[in-house]
Structure 1
Amino acid sequence: MLSEKEWENEPEDDDSSESRYERMAFTVDKGQESIRIDKFLINRMEGGTRNKLQQGIEKGFVLVNNQVVKSNYKIRPGDHIIMYSDTAPELTEVIPEQLPLDIRYEDDDIIILYKPAGMVVHPGSGNYTGTVVNGISWYLKQQQPHLSESELPRFGLVHRIDKNTTGLLVLAKNEIASVRLASQFAEHTVQRRYIALVWGDFTDDSGTIVAHVGRHQRHRKIMDTFPEGEYGKEAITHYRVLERLGYVSLIECRLETGRTHQIRVHMKYIGHPLFNDETYGGDKIVKGTVFTKYKQFVENCFALCPRHALHAKTLGFIHPTSGKQMLFESEIPADMQSVIEKWRRYVGAKGMNVE
């Protein structure tokens, strides 16, 4: 049986993570005998079947040293194995649905999609319909009517963003593109930049947060930081201040890793929770007075942007077949922009020093 450090389930809540669909990653022990990879993995899966596992391997959802292998591949000591969720036994059935999708770019291999706030990325407990995957499945079914239900593209998601985070997603339209994109996420070579409105002012103009991220020890539906690295997975977030707005700051975050709720947890860890993030303490007055007028101002801001203020603005990667560098940018959504403008007016009216 795998330890919790080796096996990390998808989030238990419906607020999707910023992690790629990695479910298991480890290095084969030095003393391990050379056996078929399907036999090796089935002994480490709970509730799975060898047939389902073999199907997953053949579809490219198991990588050995960042390469696709066949079920008869014989593992060797030192092999690094990554196993994606598509090989897990508890997959939710994907029902194709015609949904409004904001597709920003598409070719034979990839789709760049702008996800609005409130839209869940994939089906799961409590959200079996209306997700990005449901919509993309229907969309691709129109292009390729021969696709069977089992071939529709859960594998096409190589990363996710939270339900209430806006911004860009890349989806793979075929297995080769999926594997090659997944490898880039695994190797941390994908460019991901987020815009966030957070509570408080910063002493420095930029910084780096290094703290493991893992599931909270008592509240299993949220995440927490573990600075000593005894639990969770390594997580690194680089940030820089874009604009100082008195009691809040507009920042850019660059992800070096992609863990569940990474930016939200890291910002809470350093005392700057995301504005209106009810999960991590940003949905109350963190900085500033509690006088009636200011309290009303903050509540009006919460009403304008009734979610955590986080936007996945930039996405860059190497195209999986052409090898060209791809870079996509997206605009800050209206709800966040309106709150930013409201804080600018407030700071100007109060004559606050935000230099």
Structure 2
Amino acid sequence: MGEGNDATVLSREAPPVFASTVPADGGGMRLDRWLTAAHGGHSRSRLKALIEGGALTLNGAPETDPSRRLRGGESVRLAEPPPVDPVPLPREIPLTVVFEDDAVIVLDKPAGLVVHPAPGAPDHTLVNALLAHCGDSLSGIGGVRRPGIVHRLDKDTSGLMVVAKTDAAHKALALQFGDRTLHRTYHALVWGVPSPARGEIDAPMGRHPTQRTKMAVVTSGGKAALTRYQTLRAYGSTALALVECRLATGRTHQIRVHMDHIGHPLVGDQTYGRRNPSGRGGPVSARRPPPLPPEIMTRLIGLPRQALHAVALGFMHPTRGEPMHFESRIPLDIAEILATLETLQNFHSNS
């Protein structure tokens, strides 16, 4: 599956012009499959779209059929059009940038910031902020000048995210996400103390059967979901715990659903955290309060978002091949609650 000795590539990441001769061993291959291996800068789906859009010539003539079988010896030229402007508008929204270069940007997202534009949040999102921050340094993801979102955080989850700035970086990070070599670690404050103190939650997830805006552990039709957890600290004997979660998969609301599934919903979770801290069902109420002072309970129940923070992120740099690791401190709203819990003398560790 050679590239041809006379190939001309102006930029290995996303060449605006790619020219090559199909070698003899390329004979019999589909055009889009051969181009994906020879080009190296885009995904097959992106190259297929470029072919269908008229960006490629074969022996000097336009070729728009990605499935065309090659004979070997053909002259191939792909001229990629410049990326178009994004539909979302750039917005000057403050960002906490942890790391940035030509390929990626690592951010510490605050709670309350939506990642993607949606009907309820059309333009004050992380994507809008990145368009303003990055400007022309975005070389185009799928032909559009936009940031490449590899993984998401819920609106009310804070912490570290990596975003691709080029199509090649997006492709490389997506592969790491798919083969589970992009590592993400979260800290969560949950009701009750998990037993055992560490373990795995291997439970497939899908849409809730009756509440379609929610996710749930399902018995059929779901996708594999695996969360590894360990208890870092127990508070009030069995009232609360600070839990570290590592994701082996990346399902929507995975940690929130999985921790609720084992009877330990996240403090502050307005969607999945309505069960009693004992894990026996029913809303948090004065009828069966956990053994905590009333002023602490008021703060816990009043937390306006789930107590979940992405504390660590690790991946291989998509162009340099170097391991990258980043850490983030627990934000103030959760840190203040944890500090208050630590002052109560009847709390002890669960190590």
TM-score by length of 2: 0.70
Closer/same/farther in 2, CA of residues 223 and 338 from structure 1, 3 Å limit: same
Equivalence for 1:97:
91
> Deviation of residue 71 (structure 1)?
7.0
> Deviation of residue 300 (structure 1)?
2.1
- Cα-to-partner distance string for 1:246-276 (whole Å, 9 max, x where unaligned): 2000010010000000000000000000011
Identity of aligned residues (%): 38
Equivalence for 2:158:
166
Equivalence for 1:179:
171
Matched, 1:192 2:204: no
Q: What SS is found at the alignment partner of 1:151?
A: coil
Q: Which of 255, 260, 285 is residue 252 of structure 2 equivalent to?
A: 260
Matched, 1:54 2:44: no
Equivalence for 1:345:
343
Take 1:321 and 1:147, find their aligned partners in 2: how far apart are those partners? 16
> Deviation of residue 104 (structure 1)?
0.6
Equivalence for 1:311:
309
CA contact (8 A) 1:164 1:307 kept: yes
Larger radius of gyration: 2
What residue ranges of structure 1 are gaps of 5+ in the alignment?
A: 1-33, 39-49, 59-69, 76-91
> Deviation of residue 224 (structure 1)?
0.3
Q: Which of 97, 121, 124 is residue 118 of structure 2 equivalent to?
A: 124
Question: Mapping of 1:24-39 within 5 angstroms?
Answer: none
CA contact (8 A) 1:36 1:72 kept: yes
Take 2:337 and 2:291, find their aligned partners in 1: how far apart are those partners? 19
Equivalence for 1:20:
none
Q: What SS is found at the alignment partner of 2:149?
A: coil
Equivalence for 1:322:
320
Matched, 1:235 2:225: yes
What residue ranges of structure 2 are gaps of 5+ in the alignment?
A: 1-28, 34-44, 54-63, 70-85, 280-285
CA contact (8 A) 2:137 2:165 kept: no
Take 2:194 and 2:290, find their aligned partners in 1: how far apart are those partners? 23
CA contact (8 A) 2:205 2:224 kept: yes
> Deviation of residue 36 (structure 1)?
8.4
- Cα-to-partner distance string for 1:272-296 (whole Å, 9 max, x where unaligned): 0001111002486557943998444
CA contact (8 A) 2:176 2:315 kept: yes
Take 2:158 and 2:52, find their aligned partners in 1: how far apart are those partners? 32
CA contact (8 A) 2:185 2:310 kept: yes
Take 1:163 and 1:291, find their aligned partners in 2: how far apart are those partners? 28
Question: Mapping of 1:147-166 within 5 angstroms?
Answer: 151-154=144-147, 156-166=148-158
Take 2:249 and 2:322, find their aligned partners in 1: how far apart are those partners? 22
Which stretch has the larger CA shift, 275-284 or 238-247?
275-284
Equivalence for 1:297:
296
- Give, as a single letter, the amino acid of the residue that structure 1 aligns with 2:192: G
- Give, as a single letter, the amino acid of the residue that structure 2 aligns with 1:275: V
Closer/same/farther in 2, CA of residues 339 and 200 from structure 1, 3 Å limit: same
Closer/same/farther in 2, CA of residues 74 and 165 from structure 1, 3 Å limit: farther
Closer/same/farther in 2, CA of residues 187 and 199 from structure 1, 3 Å limit: same
CA contact (8 A) 1:57 1:71 kept: yes
Task: With a CA cutoff of 8 Å and minimum separation of 6, indicate the structure with the bigger relative contact order.
Answer: 1
Q: What SS is found at the alignment partner of 2:154?
A: coil
Equivalence for 1:201:
193
CA contact (8 A) 1:193 1:314 kept: yes
> Deviation of residue 98 (structure 1)?
1.4
> Deviation of residue 240 (structure 1)?
0.6
CA contact (8 A) 1:94 1:149 kept: no
Q: Which of 226, 236, 240 is residue 248 of structure 1 equivalent to?
A: 240
Take 1:274 and 1:99, find their aligned partners in 2: how far apart are those partners? 28
Q: How many pairs align?
A: 276
TM-score by length of 1: 0.70
CA contact (8 A) 2:265 2:277 kept: no
Q: What SS is found at the alignment partner of 2:250?
A: coil
Matched, 1:139 2:133: yes
